[in-house]
Amino acid sequence: MSSSSPTAASYQLRQLTVRHLAAGQAPALHTLDLIVAQGEHVALIGPSGAGKTTLLSTLACAQRPASGELSVFGVQPWSLGEAARHKLRARLFLAPQTPPLPPRQRVVTAVLAARLPHWSLWRALVSLVKPADPAAAFQALSRFNLGDKLYSRVDRLSGGERQRCGLARLLLSDAEALLVDEPLSALDPALSELTLATLRQEASARNATLICSLHQVDLALSHFPRIVALKDGRIVFDLPREQVTPEMIATLYQGEPPPASTPPGHADAQATLAVGACF
- Which window, 43-51, 99-107, 226-234, 241-249, contacts another protein (CB under 8 A)? 99-107
Using the rule CB under 8 A, is 61 a contact of another protein? yes
CA-based nearest residue to 72, from 2, 6, 10: 10
CB 87 within 8 A of CB 72: no
Task: For 108-173, give the DSSP string.
Answer: HHHHHGGGGGGS-HHHHHHHHHS-S-HHHHHHHHHTTT-GGGTTSBGGGS-HHHHHHHHHHHHHHS
Count the Cβ atoms, other than its own, within 10 Å of residue 38. 17
Using the rule CB under 8 A, is 94 a contact of another protein? yes
Between the CA of residue 221 and those of 94, 99, 202, 245, 270, what are the distances in Å?
22, 24, 19, 10, 32
Near another protein by CB under 8 A: residue from 32, 114, 210, 252: 114
At 275 the three-state DSSP class reads helix
Using the rule CB under 8 A, is 159 a contact of another protein? no
- Which window, 33-41, 61-69, 187-195, 218-226, contacts another protein (CB under 8 A)? 61-69
Using the rule CB under 8 A, is 211 a contact of another protein? no
Using the rule CB under 8 A, is 209 a contact of another protein? no
Axis-axis angle for helices 134-142, 159-172 (nearest 10) = 120
Smallest separation, CB 231 to another protein (Å): 24
d(CA 173, CA 156): 24
Near another protein by CB under 8 A: residue from 10, 54, 71, 109: 109
Using the rule CB under 8 A, is 101 a contact of another protein? yes
d(CA 30, CA 53): 14
Near another protein by CB under 8 A: residue from 15, 76, 98, 204: 98
Smallest separation, CB 34 to another protein (Å): 18
At 17 the three-state DSSP class reads strand
Question: Which residue number, 4 or 105, has a Cβ lying nearer to another protein?
Answer: 105
CA-based nearest residue to 63, from 96, 101, 37, 38: 96
Which residues within the stretch 163-202 sit at the binding site for another protein (CB under 8 A)? 173, 175
Question: Which residue number, 89 or 234, has a Cβ lying nearer to another protein?
Answer: 89
Which residues within the stretch 117-136 sit at the binding site for another protein (CB under 8 A)? 117, 119, 121, 124-125, 128
CB 203 within 8 A of CB 178: yes
Question: Which residue number, 103 or 276, has a Cβ lying nearer to another protein?
Answer: 103
Near another protein by CB under 8 A: residue from 47, 96, 147, 225: 96
Using the rule CB under 8 A, is 70 a contact of another protein? no
Smallest separation, CB 117 to another protein (Å): 4
d(CA 110, CA 260): 39
Binding positions for another protein, rule: CB under 8 A: 21, 57, 60-64, 82, 86-94, 96, 98, 100-105, 109-110, 113-114, 116-117, 119, 121, 124-125, 128, 173, 175
